[in-house]
Each structure stands twice: as C-alpha cells, then as structure tokens.
Amino acid sequence: MSNQHPTQAPGDKLKNAITAFSELVLKHPDKKRTTLLNQVEIKFDLSPRECQFLHDHFSNSDKC
C-alpha cells in the first residue's frame, strides 16, 4: 500500500527520500550509508525497484 497522495507525482516519493537521505548523511556522517538508506526506504515506503536505485547510486562502493 502506497501512502502517496493522489496529486503527488510518481517520482516525488523517491526525490523526498533522496533529500532525507542527504540530510541524514550530513547529520550522521559516522553511520553507514546502508543503514541510512534502509531508514529512508522504510519511512517513504519505497518499492523494491526504488530501493535498488538508491543502493546502486548512494551506497558506499568502489564503483564510480
């Protein structure tokens, strides 16, 4: 079940999650990014595809 408002654009939930993640990284630089990503995934009720996108682009990895 999505808690997305009917007038909310489909990508807004992911944008809000990225913004929240960025704020958490600034507030808690000592925490692992995967932990912070998991927090925003739950908070914004992201789909598995959206979660994978976040981990592919924002988790610590050796990829560029």
Domain boundaries of the chain, sorted by first residue: 30-58
**How high is the pLDDT of residue 4?**
53
Place of tokens 């000592």: 30
- What does pLDDT average to in each consecutive run of 10 residues of the chain (64 residues)? 59 93 96 96 95 93 45
Two tokens, residue 10: 């489909």
Residue 62, Cα to own-chain centre: how many angstroms? 19
